[in-house]
């Protein structure tokens, strides 16, 4: 890994520039719904709630997720499916007079011939793995290149699309104290990660009152926030960092989970499931992970990836009594790690989550409530390099924080012809949903060089700032790739 000397030529520019800148289905009337309790059938007829468990519809989409005591409200006349890492699969139909308790039985997994090297159970192996993972994952500030896309779906129609590639700054991957962390670009606290697009394409926004795409610049945040969702792209950053407080890749959290071995495609994996009683005893509302899996390397000596099913995320930057802290959402976050120079980096993060009930998670797009909103995101990171100097880091942080996603870069069709990350099938569906009157290509052109959040104040100064800053960032990005 190269030293930070390639950055030195850019810091003067940063400093000079900165000195000048001071729910769900069933909301329709008439539909009947019933509350179900999802319970685990244990020994001696003991029944325990199954929290944070996804409930699927026939087409494989997530209808909803059980709450912290295993309850969920389901619509009459629909067949639902339970697919879990720990319980036997189950299908059931909600009938008017049906039993409102669903009992699940544990799956006893018989492993194929496999050697568990020196470990009698998964928790001992995780204790050993975490001795090397935790210090390798906690690191100093670093730069990397990124590529990622974000899409929003509502009423089974895609209503927003954003794809970018550029440069990322992780300020410091340390264990923040509660409420100190906030998403990059927000005031207060310390940001965890900044993303600045150097290539960008984005759609207009779908407005249900008009019925087709409208320019994003005309989509203004509503003053009445009670009937709309607000979503900022690349929300997976905040979720990932928040789950570092509670995932089982931290030795202090192992007591909150049950573990068992399994095999997947011939690889050894460790399944984990939240112990709800331990979470309650700890009186912590950060432990909102239901279940998931940890994939190990072939030797079983390092962590390759982790997948997390979660529910009702609480924004850790707000105190417990702060209005708007509870964010009713659930889904799956998947993370792939890369080991480099005795350090562990996140090389890929993927999020699919649904929003339920009143929620506000930031500008700039409003989405009308009444049905669930699905967020789909994927981000790749590569070319990691540490920032050695505190002075250098301070200059970089100010520059990245001032720009964020508002880099206002021009749309370059030739770049996206060969560098698109979004799956072609998904992009075709987005084109059909968002491009019925205005083609997606025309929308990309119309939004070229524009702000994500329409803000006219000091726009001339901002454009001048960006015109000087972006070439410097491109130079850093190219040198990272050449290392």
pLDDT, residue 346, reads 94
Instruction: Give 314's pLDDT tier (boundaries 50, 70, 90).
Output: low
Count of C-beta atoms within a 10 Å radius of residue 394 = 15
How many residues are recorded in the chain?
Answer: 483
Of 1-5, 182-186, 381-385, where does mean pLDDT reach its minimum? 182-186
Q: Which residue has the higher pLDDT, 221 or 59?
A: 59
Q: Which residues of 222-258 are buried (b: 16+ CB within 10 A; e: fewer)?
A: eeeeeebbbbbbbbbbbbbbbbbbbbbbbeebbebbe
Does the pLDDT at position 357 exceed 70? Answer: no
| Higher per-residue confidence, 188 vs 274 | 274
Q: Is the pLDDT of residue 191 over 60?
A: no
Measured CA to CA, the distance from residue 96 to residue 76 in angstroms comes to: 7
Residues of each domain in the chain carrying CATH 2.60.40.1120: 33-104
State whether residue 479 is helix, strand or coil: helix
pLDDT mean over 269-284:
76
The residue with tokens 């210090």 is 135
Q: How confident is the model over 323-342, as a mean pLDDT?
A: 81
Question: What is the arithmetic mean of pLDDT over 10-26?
Answer: 41
Q: What is the pLDDT confidence band of residue 393, given thresholds at 50, 70 and 90?
A: confident
Given this model, what pLDDT does residue 338 score?
Answer: 93
**pTM of the full predicted structure?**
0.78
Rounded-to-integer distance, Cα 155 and Cα 250, Å = 38
Distance CA 241, CA 52 (A): 19
pLDDT score for 156: 80
Q: 84 or 435: whose pLDDT is higher?
A: 435
Position 365 scores a pLDDT of 66
Give me the pLDDT at residue 299, please.
81
Record the tokens describing residue 436, joined without a space: 């019925």
Report the DSSP pairing between strands 101-104 and 33-41. parallel
| Mean confidence (pLDDT) of the chain | 78
Candidate CATH numbers 2.40.30.10, 2.60.40.1120, 3.10.440.10, 3.40.50.970; the one for domain 33-104: 2.60.40.1120
Asked if residue 98 has pLDDT above 80, the reply is no
pLDDT digits (tens, 9 = 90+) for 174-189: 444 444 443 333 333 3
Is residue 28 scored above 60 in pLDDT? Answer: no
Place of tokens 């997606």: 440
State the pLDDT at residue 431. Answer: 94
- Cβ atoms 72, 100 nearer than 8 A: no
Tens-place pLDDT, residues 213-252: 777 656 554 444 455 666 778 888 878 877 887 889 988 8
Cα(250)–Cα(244) distance, rounded to whole angstroms? 8
d(CA 406, CA 147) in angstroms, rounded, equals 16
The fraction of the chain above a pLDDT of 70, given in percent, is 73
162 pLDDT band, cuts 50/70/90, is very high
H/E segment holding residue 381: strand 373-386
> By mean pLDDT, which of 21-30, 191-200, 377-386, 400-409 is the weakest?
21-30
Residue of higher predicted confidence among 388 and 254: 254
Q: Which DSSP letter does residue 232 get?
A: -
Taking CA atoms, 405 is separated from 68, 164, 200, 202, 322, in Å, by 35, 9, 10, 12, 27
Is it the case that residue 41 has pLDDT exceeding 70? yes
Give pLDDT, residue 15.
45
State the pLDDT at residue 184: 37
Q: Look at residue 322 and tell me whether its pLDDT is greater than 90.
A: no
pLDDT of residue 189: 36
């Amino acid at each position: 890994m190269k030293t930070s000397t390639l950055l030195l030529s850019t810091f003067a520019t940063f400093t000079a520039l900165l000195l000048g800148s001071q729910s769900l289905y069933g909301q329709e009337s008439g539909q009947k719904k019933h509350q179900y309790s999802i319970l685990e059938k244990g020994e001696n007829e003991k029944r325990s709630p199954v929290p944070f468990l996804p409930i699927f519809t026939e087409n494989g989409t997530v209808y909803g997720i059980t709450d912290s005591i295993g309850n969920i409200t389901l619509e009459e006349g629909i067949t639902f499916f339970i697919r879990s890492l720990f319980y036997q699969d189950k299908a059931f139909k909600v009938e008017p007079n049906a039993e409102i308790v669903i009992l699940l039985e544990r799956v006893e997994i018989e492993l194929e011939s496999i050697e568990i090297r020196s470990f009698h159970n998964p928790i001992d192996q995780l204790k050993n793995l975490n001795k090397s993972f935790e210090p390798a994952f906690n690191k100093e500030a670093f730069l990397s290149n990124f590529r990622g896309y974000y899409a929003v779906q509502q009423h089974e129609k895609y209503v927003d699309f954003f794809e970018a590639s550029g440069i990322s700054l992780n300020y410091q991957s340390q264990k923040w104290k509660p409420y100190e962390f906030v998403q990059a670009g927000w005031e207060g606290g310390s940001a965890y990660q900044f993303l600045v697009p150097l290539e960008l394409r984005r759609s207009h926004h779908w407005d249900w009152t008009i019925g087709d795409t409208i320019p994003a610049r005309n989509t203004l945040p509503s003053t009445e926030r009670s009937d709309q969702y607000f979503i900022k792209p690349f929300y997976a950053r905040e979720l990932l960092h928040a789950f570092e407080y509670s995932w089982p890749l931290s030795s202090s959290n192992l007591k909150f989970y049950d573990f068992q071995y399994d095999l997947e495609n011939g690889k050894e994996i460790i399944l984990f499931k939240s112990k709800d009683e331990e979470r309650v005893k700890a009186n912590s509302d950060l432990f909102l992970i239901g279940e998931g899996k940890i994939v190990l390397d072939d030797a079983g000596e390092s962590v390759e990836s982790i997948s997390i099913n979660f529910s009702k995320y609480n924004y850790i930057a707000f105190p417990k009594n702060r209005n708007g802290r509870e964010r009713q959402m659930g889904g799956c976050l998947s993370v792939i790690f890369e080991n480099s120079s005795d350090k562990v980096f996140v090389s890929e993060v993927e999020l699919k989550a649904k929003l339920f009930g009143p929620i506000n998670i930031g500008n700039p797009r409003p989405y009308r409530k009444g049905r669930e909103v699905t967020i789909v995101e994927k981000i790749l990171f590569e070319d990691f390099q540490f920032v050695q100097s505190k002075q250098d880091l301070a200059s970089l942080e100010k520059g990245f924080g001032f720009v964020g996603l508002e880099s206002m870069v021009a749309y370059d069709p030739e770049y996206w012809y060969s560098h698109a990350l979004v799956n072609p099938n998904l992009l075709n569906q987005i084109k059909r949903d968002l491009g019925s009157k205005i083609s997606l290509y025309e929308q990309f052109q119309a939004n070229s060089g524009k702000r994500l959040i329409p803000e006219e104040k000091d726009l001339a100064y901002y454009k001048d700032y960006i015109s000087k800053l972006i070439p410097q960032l491109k130079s850093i990005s190219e040198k990272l790739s050449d290392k």
